[in-house]
Amino acid sequence: MQPYELTLTAAADAIRTRRLSPVELTDSVLERIAQREPHLQAYVDVAADRARSAARDAEHDIAAGRRRGPLHGIPMGLKDLIDVAGSATTASSRVRAGHRAHTDSTVAARLARAGAVLLGKTHTHEFAYGLTTPQTHNAWDTDRVAGGSSGGSAVAVAAGMATFALGTDTGGSIRVPSALNGVVGLKPTYGLLPRHGVTSLSWSLDHVGPITRTTEDAALVLTALAGHDPRDPASLSAPAANYRPRAGTDLTGLRVGVPRTYYFDHVDPETEDAVRRAIDQLRDLGARLVEVEIPMTRYIQAVQWGLMVPEATAYHENTLRTVPDLYQADVRILLEAGELMTAGDYLRAQRARTLMRQEWARMFKEVDLIAAPTVPTTAVRAGQETITWADGTVEGVSDAYVRLSSPANITGTPSLSVPVGHDSAGLPIGMQLLGRPLGEEVLLRAGHAYEQTRPASALAHAA
């Protein structure tokens, strides 16, 4: 096994025990980038010299007994919405050409303090306003979409071009590309990770989170990043926690909700079969399966778009008027559509969200988590605009991809996407686990237990 293939957890252990140096690991990942990046286009830029310098510093500090923790010396990527002082934050858009950040975002500063090695910025769907990241190619099949908007981050991790990466998630933008590329994506509870210095799409739906190879990796990153930041008005004052899941696979007593409605409607049969097998595996580990009715399903997509569209348009109001031609056509259309929405529309969406949160809280009195597909189908071909389901229903690709992930954004609940296998074309399938607010430990425990016993076919890596 090459160093670039190691999980974060394995790499951190190898560095701690001096079996691997940060320089060796970073060089291996950079060599992998040189090999695969021309085909995948996951990165906006790669700062190889800066990364090697940081790796040498990490190696020196660790040798001197100043190891800062499991992220020290680990190479990673940041979605191109996340500010790093002195570096460009372009949001993969011509609108931001030449823009450079003056200060670090909170999450970038915390990663730097933890000793992580920044490789570069990863591509996003322009301003995170889309579910495909069209400039980036799927790590398993370059003729297919990467998923979005954190497509660059997911592809980088899946292809061994980063040991971990950060993304953002407004309607599924961490979990969708993670599922489509066979990696783990965690959208934490709203406000658990600070967003200061992160370009916004929709302030009341935006989340920052890790994309990794395992749930244990995600837990290590979450532990390093969680904590209150007064510069983010939504930041929670949750107590510090170590999210690393305990050893073992016993899930006795865990109540896993299996949706009767919504989450298995208009889902590809191979996706449904893989997810239901994974749910059965949770049962075999001791969990109790409980059928649940997802509340207010008819309002989910209307509320998601009713909140996101006007908030995004408000953020882009000035540039939409001054440099509209610099936006990509699909993003510009959505931003212009936001100008047609009334204050009443927005307020109705806010009221519906409040009711939805209350109903979800009642549902979670009956179960500890919910298990469901992350997305209803695997990665579609690049340029494909619609999906036709077995009953003849035609659905837009973006609508399909956001449909199952957006409830966690509306309600602010944490959601973890875990790979559970591949379809007959060899494309990855993801299962998402949804929990109560601040229920990350439960999700990570269940995801970690499943990973210890899942079939080897679910563990295959992108070439």
DSSP codes joined into one string, 254-300: -EEEEESSSTTTT--HHHHHHHHHHHHHHHHTTPEEEEEPPTTGGGH
Give the ranges where 41-174 is alpha helix by DSSP (H).
48-63, 106-113, 151-158
Residue (of 218, 36, 210, 51) closest to 136 by Cα position: 36
- Decide if 173 is catalytic: yes
The H or E element containing residue 442 is helix 440-453
Residue 450 amino acid letter:
Y
- Decide if 149 is catalytic: yes
- Find the catalytic residue in 21, 87, 93, 149: 149
CA-CA distance, 259 to 122, in Å (whole number)? 34
CA-CA distance, 24 to 360, in Å (whole number)? 47
For 190, list phi and psi in degrees, rounded to 5.
-55, 125
Q: What region, left, alpha or beta, does residue 92 occupy, with left being phi > 0 and alpha being psi -120 to 50 degrees? A: left
Residue (of 256, 298, 295) closest to 275 by Cα position: 256
- Find the catalytic residue in 21, 28, 79, 87: 79
For 432, list phi and psi in degrees, rounded to 5.
-105, 140
- Find the catalytic residue in 87, 105, 153, 173: 173
- Decide if 79 is catalytic: yes
Structure tokens at 259: 């949706």
Positions annotated as catalytic residues are 79, 149, 173
